[in-house]
Structure 1
Amino acid sequence: MSTLGESPAVLAKRKHVKNNVWCPKTNVEDDPWCDPDNPKMISYKDTVKATSVIKEYIAKTPLNRSKCCVQFNMELYYKFETVHRTGSFLERAALYSLSMLDDEQRAAGVITASLGNWGLALAYHGQRLNVPVTVVIPYTDKCKVILRCQNYGANIIQHGNDLSEAIRKAFIIKSEIQNLTYINGYDHPHVIAASGSIALEILEQLPQTDVVLVPVGGGGLIAGIATVAKKLKPEIKIYGIEPKKCCSFFKAMENDNPFQTVVGATVAEMLAVPKAGCNAFYTARSLIDKMVLVEDNWISRAILHLTEEEKMVTEGAGATALSAFFATPIILPELKGKTVVCVVSGGNTDYFTLCRNIERAKAIEGRLIKMRFTLSGDQLTEQRVKILRIIAKTSCNILQCQCEEALLEESFRKIYFTLICETASHEHACVVKRIMDSMFLDYKFSEDPYNPIQSCVCFPNPMLY
């Protein structure tokens, strides 16, 4: 007798086992220059060779004494790498890396993945040396960087949400297009060696340097600087300064091995490298005296300080080394009275980002305040005029003024009057608050730092008014 098989009720009770069709991603990221199983240690001789190649085209960058040495209680100097044509120290690395290619490699071209600065430097020197350059950049709002790379003749491909995804895409393209040379922008031996030329200049310009503070992303910059500095002056201290939100190198030091990490959005976006370079790590790990993690608020304050006091515009990554001095409480007390050099690695920022950082830093320092008044009655205009006159007498700059109707309140004659004002200092802001407290009842400061006797992580001292 024929049968139609088991009933649907029986079949429904069976445990369904799915076939495992998962297949791991093919490892296309095969870079013989950056092999985790066979890391390349960069030597002092490598840096000397790199310096001899690039010195004809790369001028020495200025090492300027800070105008605020008394404030920081040390002899503080800045190594301004922002003065290069493309605005960052990576021009040294780009020129040397391209110079070391043979004729066949130059003709075929190079490909790389970049967050911006490395792509700019490689595109610029690629155009100058007639080497075709392809740059894979993660999806970003930095339209200006992409446009500048294109103006230098580079082929720009946007892919991925972070540098890791962009790197993988670059290797996929390399596998499809024969003879392309991939150059890692933070871990290639030539990149590290060329970065070490900065240390040669520092010790030539300021032999009495006690400590060098270096911003850290993938680790190429600190590896090059540490290699040279420790060779020429063994007693010198090398501090790596890394954003807390993207601290792959710090975690590699803790783990004693680089590994993939999750990076968060940070002010120092050029340092957002998910995995520290293997060559950089194994070269630098025994040469670094201290690694310091910094908050974004400290970096914003460092950007503001460099802009106002040193008259130098920098990006978040460029201000990262200095930001360690804006920590609360003080995290580097041992540097008091020392001769310290901060490497300002780059200055590629845009107007919008710079303004946001400046406003943020001013708010952190109590120099940008927001007040909200609740006004009611028949003389709303007169009340607003009174407030504005009082503000004017306190010598504040009124940046924004907004009226908002209280639509759901019982009274139809009620509004919220909001002011954003700029003050000269935190003390000035506290004076304004005392005056407002004495004259108005129904108002509030929006910023928490103006609560009585509060200690904020972004302020050096408890706030009393």
Structure 2
Amino acid sequence: MNIEQIQDAYETIKDVVVKTPILYSPVFSEMCGNGNKVYLKCENLQTTGAYKLRGALNKIRKLTAEQKGRGVVCASAGNHAQGVAYAATLEKINATIVMPETTPYLKVQATMDFGGKVILHGKFFDDAYKKACELSQQEGATFIHPFDDEEIMAGQGTVGLEILDQLPDCDIIVVPIGGGGLISGISVYAKAINPNIKIVGVQAYGASAMVKSFQEHRLIALDSIATIAEGIAVKSPGKLTFEVISNYVDEMVRVKDNVIVDKLLVLLEKHKLVAETSGVASLAALKDIKNIQDKKIVCLISGGNIDMLNLSALINSGFVSRGRIFCFGVELANIPGQLLNVSTLLTKLGANVIRLEHNQAKARNKYQNVQLEITVETNGFAHIQRIKEAFEEAGYFINPQY
């Protein structure tokens, strides 16, 4: 793959894809520190909610008439599926999408809404991948690989083209990595334009096959993966992408799930932007990039297709980890007036009750006492500590729930 292929891909798809904005972030710039300026490349605002449309459309538009007549098939846990379905419908060809049975409903429904025929198969991506390969052979349909394909990589590389058009003097580009198609395309284009640009790849600790491969200079597949960032949870890196990454990427960073959740919450609160967990991995990596000072850093927000129920749970988790919500249990005598005493104490402490539940079964003395489970809004960990101390002074024993 080379820069000419990426430029050609842009001409092929530019009538459909959105040239997504780059936004300066004072909040993440301050978090990064050292005089660095952080910018967000918002592929969560792409037509299908993620950058994947770029590669899928480039690949599908370059199929022969005969190939288009036989249709396409792909395997995906979500964003690639939507990109292929949208592109295939646009080109008036049939698309069969094999998705794991565990795929969030939002992504399954969105894929069908874009015109794809969805088959749910297996628990993991690898199961869906094998099934899609079987269907491709049986039906003669063209298999559209999610990352290990030069035309897919070239299409994703158009993100890099836009970044350097929008912010020509950027110093560092930070990119989430699953199979490696996105960072491959971006790094080839960016290095061709400016060899001094630093390219940083990011993976979750629980799914870091490409990081390990990069460090050991050989392809390494994982036996299992465990991360909330399902969009970049890939057991086996691509052969083509590994070769490109080995030659063009400067640094690899791994991030923890709790940091991903925190940055998701900051993005939502401060920028009013919705992203999926994998989409904010680049933001989670900012503190771990080596030796950066007074640099312009572009963090790629790769997608925004997150299920609302999942988002709600992550927001709640983020509030807990930041000391904005405190959930605790307290055992009370099962007599009138106890609830009023607790309520009065919380009022004096300025803690807003958002959930309250009596649970006599959890009390140590089930016949005389009741366990009161309380969730309150708080102003941080110092506030939580004051609540604990006040309850202890009043003779109550607090049992934090999480």
Task: Please state which band the TM-score falls in when normalised by the shorter chain.
Answer: over 0.9
1:119 to 77, 81, 85: 81
1:240 to 177, 181, 201: 201
Q: List gaps (5 residues or longer) in structure 1.
A: 1-41, 448-465
1:98 to 55, 60, 64: 60
Query: 1:47 corresponds to which residue?
Result: 6
- Change in 2 beyond 3 A, CA 1:197/1:403: same
Kindly provide the CA deviation profile for residues 264-317 of structure 1, in whole angstroms up to 9, marking residues without a partner as x. 232110111111111111012121111111111111111111111111011011
Asked if the contact 2:77–2:103 (Cα under 8 Å) also holds between the matched residues in 1, the reply is no
- Change in 2 beyond 3 A, CA 1:217/1:408: closer
1:64 to 23, 26, 44: 23
Query: 1:370 corresponds to which residue?
Result: 327
Asked if the contact 1:246–1:262 (Cα under 8 Å) also holds between the matched residues in 2, the reply is no
Asked if the contact 1:248–1:274 (Cα under 8 Å) also holds between the matched residues in 2, the reply is yes
1:298 to 234, 241, 259: 259
Query: 1:166 corresponds to which residue?
Result: 128
**1:439 equivalent in alignment to 2:394:** yes
Asked if the contact 2:388–2:398 (Cα under 8 Å) also holds between the matched residues in 1, the reply is no
The CA distance in 2 between the partners of 1:93 and 1:275, in whole Å, is 19
The CA distance in 1 between the partners of 2:239 and 2:363, in whole Å, is 61
Query: 1:393 corresponds to which residue?
Result: 348
Equivalent pairs counted in the alignment come to: 399
Asked if the contact 1:263–1:272 (Cα under 8 Å) also holds between the matched residues in 2, the reply is no
Asked if the contact 2:360–2:366 (Cα under 8 Å) also holds between the matched residues in 1, the reply is no
Q: What SS class does the counterpart of residue 26 from structure 2 fall into?
A: coil
Asked if the contact 2:207–2:235 (Cα under 8 Å) also holds between the matched residues in 1, the reply is yes
Q: Which amino acid in 2 is paired with 1:120?
A: Q
**1:213 equivalent in alignment to 2:145:** no
- Change in 2 beyond 3 A, CA 1:141/1:99: closer
Quick check: 52-61 or 122-131, which moved more?
52-61
Q: List gaps (5 residues or longer) in structure 2.
A: none
**1:310 equivalent in alignment to 2:271:** yes
- Change in 2 beyond 3 A, CA 1:383/1:223: same
Query: 1:153 corresponds to which residue?
Result: 115
1:138 to 91, 100, 121: 100
Asked if the contact 1:67–1:309 (Cα under 8 Å) also holds between the matched residues in 2, the reply is no
Query: 1:23 corresponds to which residue?
Result: none
Equivalent positions of 1:312-331 (< 5 A) are: 312-325=273-286, 330-331=287-288
Asked if the contact 2:225–2:234 (Cα under 8 Å) also holds between the matched residues in 1, the reply is no
Asked if the contact 2:75–2:125 (Cα under 8 Å) also holds between the matched residues in 1, the reply is yes
Kindly provide the CA deviation profile for residues 174-216 of structure 1, in whole angstroms up to 9, marking residues without a partner as x. 12113x1011011111110111111111112112211111000
1:403 to 349, 354, 358: 358
The CA distance in 2 between the partners of 1:190 and 1:268, in whole Å, is 25
Kindly provide the CA deviation profile for residues 373-420 of structure 1, in whole angstroms up to 9, marking residues without a partner as x. 1112634xx121121222233333322211111577556221111111
Q: Which amino acid in 1 is paired with 2:167?
A: L
Query: 2:367 corresponds to which residue?
Result: 412
Query: 2:49 corresponds to which residue?
Result: 87
- Change in 2 beyond 3 A, CA 1:118/1:407: closer
**1:190 equivalent in alignment to 2:147:** no
Question: What is the deviation of 1:75?
Answer: 0.6
Query: 1:34 corresponds to which residue?
Result: none
Kindly provide the CA deviation profile for residues 324-364 of structure 1, in whole angstroms up to 9, marking residues without a partner as x. 24xxxx53362343211110000000111101111111211
The CA distance in 2 between the partners of 1:221 and 1:394, in whole Å, is 50
Asked if the contact 1:97–1:191 (Cα under 8 Å) also holds between the matched residues in 2, the reply is yes
2:223 to 253, 259, 262: 262
Kindly provide the CA deviation profile for residues 106-165 of structure 1, in whole angstroms up to 9, marking residues without a partner as x. 111001110110001110111111011011111115122212222222111111221112
Asked if the contact 2:362–2:371 (Cα under 8 Å) also holds between the matched residues in 1, the reply is no
The CA distance in 1 between the partners of 2:93 and 2:57, in whole Å, is 11
The CA distance in 1 between the partners of 2:303 and 2:353, in whole Å, is 33
Q: TM-score, normalised by structure 1?
A: 0.82
Question: What is the deviation of 1:52?
Answer: 1.5
Kindly provide the CA deviation profile for residues 231-284 of structure 1, in whole angstroms up to 9, marking residues without a partner as x. 111111111110111112112213323243223232110111111111111012
- Change in 2 beyond 3 A, CA 1:407/1:161: closer
Asked if the contact 1:239–1:292 (Cα under 8 Å) also holds between the matched residues in 2, the reply is yes
The CA distance in 1 between the partners of 2:51 and 2:103, in whole Å, is 23
- Change in 2 beyond 3 A, CA 1:333/1:249: closer
- Change in 2 beyond 3 A, CA 1:333/1:124: same
Asked if the contact 1:187–1:280 (Cα under 8 Å) also holds between the matched residues in 2, the reply is yes
- The structure with more radius of gyration: 1
Query: 1:451 corresponds to which residue?
Result: none
Q: Which amino acid in 2 is paired with 1:426?
A: F
Q: What SS class does the counterpart of residue 196 from structure 1 fall into?
A: helix
Normalized per residue, the structure richer in helix is 2
- Change in 2 beyond 3 A, CA 1:198/1:438: same
Q: What SS class does the counterpart of residue 362 from structure 1 fall into?
A: helix
RMSD across aligned positions (CA) = 1.8
The CA distance in 1 between the partners of 2:362 and 2:168, in whole Å, is 68
Q: Which amino acid in 2 is paired with 1:421?
A: V
Q: What SS class does the counterpart of residue 285 from structure 1 fall into?
A: helix
